[in-house]
Amino acid sequence: MINHPMTRVLIISLIVFSTSIFSQSKNNMEIATFGTGCFWCTEAIFDKLEGVTEVLPGYSGGEESNPNYKLICSGTTKYAEIVQIKFNPEVITFDELLEIFWSIHNPTTLNRQGADVGPQYRSVIFYHNQIQKEKAELYKQKLMDAKVWENPVVTEISPFVSFYKAEKEHLDFYKNNPANGYCSFVITPKVEKFEKVFSDKLKK
Report pLDDT digits (tens) over 167-198.
999 999 999 999 999 999 999 999 999 999 99
Give the CATH number for residue 175.
Answer: 3.30.1060.10
Residue among 58, 59, 53 nearest 86 (CA): 53
Within 8 A by CB and 6+ apart from 183, the residues are 40, 173, 174, 177
- Of the residues 38, 41, 73, 183, which is catalytic? 38
Specify if 3 maps to a domain.
no
pTM of the model: 0.88
How many domains does the chain contain in total? 1
Specify if 118 maps to a domain.
yes
Specify if 154 maps to a domain.
yes
Range of the domain at 78: 27-193
Specify if 119 maps to a domain.
yes
* DSSP annotation string for 101-118: HHHSS-TTSTTEETTEES
Report pLDDT digits (tens) over 93-120.
999 999 999 999 999 999 999 889 999 9
Specify if 85 maps to a domain.
yes
Specify if 198 maps to a domain.
no
Report how far apart, in Å, the C-alpha atoms of 153 and of each of 10, 121, 122 are.
Answer: 15, 15, 12
Specify if 44 maps to a domain.
yes
| Intervals of the chain under pLDDT 50 | 1-3, 9, 12, 16-26
Verify whether residue 41 is a known catalytic residue.
no
Specify if 76 maps to a domain.
yes
Within 8 A by CB and 6+ apart from 104, the residues are 5, 6, 36, 41, 42, 45, 190, 194
